[in-house]
Amino acid sequence: MTTQKESTTTTAVVVQQSKAAGRLLISGGTVVALILLILFFFLMRPDTFLSFVNVRNILYQISILAIIAGAQTIVMVLGDFDLSVGATSSLAGAVTSVLLLQENGLGVALLAGLAVGLIVGLVNGILIAYLKMSAFVATLATMTSVIGLGYLVTGGTTVFGMPAEFNQLGQGRFLNIPLPVYFAVAISVLIWAGLRFTTVGRRWYAIGGNVEVARLSGVNVRFARLLAFTLAGIISAIGGILLAARLGSAAAEQGGDNTLFSVAAVFLGMTVVRSGAANLVGTMIGVAIIGVMSNGLNILGVNAYVQQVVTGLIIIAAVTLSSLKTRET
Amino acid sequence: MTITEEEPPVVVQAPPALEAVDIVKSFDGVHALKGVRLSVQPGEIHALLGENGAGKSTLIKIVTGLYSPDSGEIRRGGETVEFANVRAAHQAGVVALYQELSIVPTISVAENVLLGEQLPSRAGIVNGRALRRRAGEQLARLQQKIPLRKLAGDLSPVQQTMVAVARALATDARVLILDEPTASLTETEIREVFAVLRALREEGVAIVYVSHRLEEVFELCDRLTIMRNGETIVTKNVADTTIDEVISTMVGRSADSLYPERGTATKDVVLTVEHLNGRRVKDVSFEAYAGEVLGIGGLAGSGRSELLRILAGAQGHKGGTITVGGVPLRRRSAVGRMLDAGVALVPEERRSQGVLLGTSIQDNIALANLGAVSRAGVVSGRQIAQMAKRGMADLQIKARGPKQSVGELSGGNQQKVVLAKMLARRPKVLLMDEPTRGIDVGTKAEIYRLIRELAAQGTAVIAVSSELPELIGMSDRILIMHEGSISGEVAAEGADDEILLSYAYGRSE
């Protein structure tokens, strides 16, 4: 939303500003939940939770999810979703790792990993945009096959022993902050700017708003959708390669959890804006909620399975609250 | 059965089956209903008339529990009721049948008739035989023989209507509201429906009949209520009024003053269509001239909208050529390509095809003009705002500012946003499908003036309309379609309804 300079003095802008304030209040719910979560864990563990080391830890833990949730945000802007992001990320990590173990150069291995994302994304896009399959069915099917390919590539085991220069991508630090955090921030900023300031982003939002209106306004809906899924595939692949580097190992399903968590993060983010559309800032708030909760419950010594139960409940609570709000307006 | 002239309709002095008193309803600050009254007796067929946008649908949605009124009262058999939802209205015997939404096409006729009823079953297993017997009884009441096992979606339109009526009766409807029940029916089928409705009137059912077809109203109905701009203007016995009187009451003023002067048409051909074929369009050829408003008439389903959609690139075509400004266009259709060629469409359904309701005015206008407001794929917020301000000033769009959400605007202003979006493309040919549907009379006049101004600037405007007075008033020339083909062409000046209708029914040679 770029406010134009010449009208800053007119009353219209004053009205818009007070409206923006109202919008902030409405958006409050999910953000307030994040602040309350942070406050709660801080009060429970005042010495550790907000320490530099733990905050860095949280950022490190959520960086991969942030990248994959960014990919998910793109397709959810169009009103679709992609169940294959986790599997694609795993396969990309596995292909890169296996190629490295076969003594290929780092550049070749990384490009091959990205190519995995490109191909899976293209297939998703073609199935959904051109063959008119539902996103649910298409990405469920590709997810299934991609997991299978992951097992084939890794031989069903966890592969490890990649060169240090590769692992450095996931484990190295710059200014005492892990590299994946920088990657996540850079990719998020790019996606945010792309959704907000480019013609493609406008078209995606228009499609998500109403396909028919977009089409009758001259938007090439099929191509825009193909592009969205392809980008989602490539970005997921980046996430998967970084995950393999961070863990120093690769396996067919190591990114699997990120699929559902990415959808959850986008849903949480949709409650942040009044329009209820997927948006990157909201997604990152959603990612932060998931990350803070997981880290905090860990520190409190709560069982990981309980964490998953709580995550589901939080999504239900957030989405219910926001739908109550829209009903009132 | 039928009421003859010697037997004028007896208005029973029982409490009205359904009464709406001083109903007020507004949406986003716009008054849709401003104190509406409607009273329907048992055993009466009561026509509810008014132009599109007069508030008929809103009133129906209120008396059937879909909306709740801001103020006012609904009475059923003399007692005040409040319907929390459609189900509550059903249980009170008030049922509305809409043209196409009333049956479930993927289940059997019998299941459709008893939809929402307690199905005859034991331990959760439906007793198919009992189901069909009970459904058959309902259809027999209407003297209908429809195969009960057939999928409802495979039935003819009139059979589907009958199934919907039978379902209403199965729920013991005492007030039946029919919205344009004959729109897709043939003449014989209409007779059949009328016979059923008359039989139901004999049973004491109160029927509210919404239709634009005044001849049918005068044949079938006992009384009529006319709405205009959210108010009820008058309720009369049909026998005491005439079609002309009804029309002028509906419009609220003499129709002539609505339309601007003609006289901008030239002989420069802008658009040539030759032997165009496609879904619902058969071998259509015509030319459109710069400065001309070319009206396209015909019955619903005659291919009017499809023709516009093909020209706009929104629907594919199988053969024929389209030439714009002397340049023949490639076969493959795409809206973007047609926009580039100078053909723009203002679609029929504003809310579902024209505007993004939750999006700002400026972003709606920018959507069809992204190339003009961006550089290297990056959009300029400043240029978007400028484009929107220009469009809002040119078309006098009433809004707080370019960032106001389109969903908050009135129908007329929403339509102007669609126009602004397309006009920013500077089209050579502007296609408009039902340009004033759902718009109040004042804004209608404005739209007609805008159309004429565009024509004066050299645009060829091609407008489809279902409303004959509008078609005649705004156009220079009118093409009439019948079953996909052009069945006639008339000069608008001095044209009358009769000739247009006879072409529309394909009767003239």
pLDDT band at B4 (very low <50, low <70, confident <90, very high): very low
In terms of average pLDDT, the best of B4-8, B111-115, B235-239 is B235-239
Chain-centre distance of CA A136, in angstroms?
18
Higher pLDDT, B411 or B367: B367
What are residue B178's DSSP bridge partners?
B97, B209
Among residues B313, B384, B388, B379, which one has the least CA distance to residue B343? B313
Distance from CA of A213 to the nearest CA of B (A): 4
CB atoms B314 and A215 under 8 Å: yes
Distance CA A211, CA A124 (A): 18
- Say whether pLDDT at A26 is over 60: no
Buried b (16+ CB within 10 A) or exposed e, A10-24: eebbeebeeeeeeee
- Taken as a whole, chain A contains a residue count of 329
* HSE toward the beta carbon, residue B66, CA cutoff 13 A: 10
CA of A47, closest CA in chain B: separation in Å?
46
**Can you tell me the distance from the alpha carbon of B369 to that of B167, in angstroms, rounded to the nearest whole number?**
49
Nearest to B379 among A12, A198, A206 (CB): A198
Residue A199, pLDDT above cutoff 60: yes
Greater confidence, B308 or B182?
B308
- Between B494 and A184, residue with greater pLDDT: A184
Give the angle A122-A126-A132 at the CA atoms, nearest 5°. Answer: 150
Say whether A213 and B336 touch across the interface (CB within 8 A).
Answer: no
Q: Which of residues 334-373 of B touch A (CB under 8 A)?
A: 334-336, 338-339, 345, 347, 352-359, 363, 366-368, 370-371
CA-wise closest residue to B110 among B87, B86, B130: B130
Contact A218 B368 (CB under 8 A): yes
Please give the average per-residue pLDDT across A12-17, as a whole number.
47
Q: Is B314 helix (H, G, I), strand (E, B) or coil?
A: coil
Structural domains in chain B, sorted by start:
18-104+172-252 (3.40.50.300), 256-342+427-504 (3.40.50.300), 357-425 (no CATH)
State the average pLDDT over residues A278-293: 92
What band does B272 get if pLDDT is binned at 50, 70 and 90?
A: very high
Q: Is the pLDDT of residue A12 over 50?
A: no
The DSSP string of B415-453 is HHHHHHHHHTT--SEEEEESTTTT--HHHHHHHHHHHHH
B323 Cα to chain A: minimum distance (Å): 19
Q: Look at residue A18 in the predicted model and tell me its pLDDT.
A: 53
Q: Where does the pLDDT of residue B176 fall: very low under 50, low under 70, confident under 90, or very high at 90 and above?
A: very high
Mean pLDDT of chain B: 86
pLDDT in tens, B144-160: 888 888 888 888 878 88
Give the tens place of pLDDT for each residue, A118-153.
999 999 999 999 999 999 999 999 999 999 999 999
Share above pLDDT 70 across residues of chain A, in percent, rounded to a whole number: 89
Residue B220 · residue B194 · CB < 8 Å: yes
> Does the CB of B316 have a partner CB in chain A at under 8 Å?
no
Domains of chain A are: 50-321 (1.10.3470)
**φ, ψ dihedrals at A281, nearest 5°:** -60, -45
Residues B427-473 have pLDDT tens digits of: 999 999 999 887 766 678 889 999 999 999 999 999 999 888 889 98
Classify strands B71-76 and B18-27 as parallel, antiparallel or unpaired.
Answer: antiparallel
pLDDT in tens, A146-155: 999 999 999 9
Cα distances (Å, whole numbers) of residue B105 to B154, B180, B184: 7, 19, 17
Nearest Cβ partner of B421 from A198, A212, A217? Answer: A217
Non-local (6+) Cβ contacts of B417 within 8 A are B354, B355, B361, B364, B365, B391, B397, B406, B409
- By C-alpha distance, which of B64, B79, B73, B66 is closest to B173? B64
- Distant-in-sequence contacts of A210-213, Cβ < 8 A, 24+ apart: A210/B352, A210/B353, A210/B356, A210/B357, A211/A79, A212/B352, A212/B353, A213/B352, A213/B353, A213/B354, A213/B355, A213/B356, A213/B367
Express each pLDDT in A157-174 by its tens digit. Answer: 999 999 999 999 999 999
Nearest Cβ partner for B378 among A3, A13, A197 = A197
State the DSSP code for B315: S
Say whether pLDDT at A6 is over 60: no
Tokens for A60, please give them. 């490190």
Please, which contacts does B488-495 make with residues 24 or more away whose CB atoms are closer than 8 Å?
A: B489/B286, B492/B262, B492/B295, B493/B262
CA-based torsion, A100, A105, A106, A109: positive or negative:
negative
**B367 with A219: Cβ contact below 8 A:** yes
Over residues B44-100, the pLDDT tens digits come to 999 998 876 678 888 999 999 988 899 999 999 888 999 888 888 888 899 888 765
Q: How many other CB atoms are found less than 10 A from the CB of residue B193?
A: 20
* Sign of the torsion formed by the C-alpha atoms of B307, B313, B314 and B315: positive
User: CA gyration radius for chain A?
Assistant: 20
Contact A202 B379 (CB under 8 A): yes
In degrees, to the nearest 5, what angle opens at C-alpha B440 toward C-alphas B436 and B446?
A: 65
- Confidence (pLDDT) at B508: 56
Q: Is the distance from CB of A272 to CB of A282 less than 8 angstroms?
A: yes
User: For B281-295, b where at least 16 C-beta lie within 10 A, e where not — what string?
Assistant: beebebebbbbbbbb
Distance from CA of B334 to the nearest CA of A (A): 7
Residue A81 has pLDDT above 60, yes or no: yes
- Chain B residues inside the 8 Å CB shell of A209: 356-359
* B-chain residues near A12 (CB < 8 A): 400-401, 403
Q: What angle do CA B42, B46, B52 make, to 5 degrees?
A: 145
Q: Is the pLDDT of residue A183 over 90?
A: yes
Return the residue of A nearest to B350 by Cα: A213
Of B243, B240, B231, B224, nearest in space to B48 by CA: B224
Nearest CB neighbour to B358, from listed A4, A209, A216: A209
- Statement: residue B6 has pLDDT above 90: no
Cβ separation of A198 and B359 shorter than 8 Å? no
The answer to whether residue A218 neighbours chain B at the CB level (below 8 Å) is yes
Q: Do B368 and A206 touch (CB under 8 A)?
A: no
A131: its two tokens: 């063959």
Query: What pLDDT was estimated at residue A27?
Result: 54
pLDDT of residue B476: 93
B494 shares contact with chain A (CB less than 8 Å): no
pLDDT tens profile A95-118? 999 999 998 899 999 999 999 999
- Determine the Cα–Cα distance for residues A38 and B232; give it in Å rounded to an integer: 59
As a whole-number percent, the residues of chain A with pLDDT over 90 amount to: 66
ipTM of predicted complex = 0.81
**Which residue from B336, B347, B401 is facing A220, i.e. has the nearest CB?**
B336
Which chain B residues contact residue A200 at CB under 8 A?
377
Query: Cβ of B370 and A214 within 8 Å?
Result: no
CB B465 within 8 A of CB B497: no
Measured CA to CA, the distance from residue B207 to residue B193 in angstroms comes to 13
Phi, psi of A290 (to 5 degrees): -60, -45
Dump pLDDT digits (tens) for B341-364: 999 999 988 888 999 998 999 999
Are the beta carbons of A157 and A254 closer than 8 angstroms?
A: no
Position A326 scores a pLDDT of 53
Gap between the Cα atoms of A219 and A208, Å rounded: 12
Residue B180 zone, left/alpha/beta (φ > 0; ψ -120 to 50; rest): left
pLDDT at A327: 47
Q: Are B37 and B26 in contact (CB under 8 A)?
A: no
Does A202 sit within 8 Å of B370, measured CB to CB? yes
Q: Do A16 and B401 touch (CB under 8 A)?
A: yes
- Residue range B403-413: average pLDDT? 87
User: Between β-strands B429-433 and B460-464, what pairing exists: parallel, antiparallel or unpaired?
Assistant: parallel
- Find the CB nearest B347 among A209, A216, A219: A216
Distance CA B451, CA B465 (A): 14
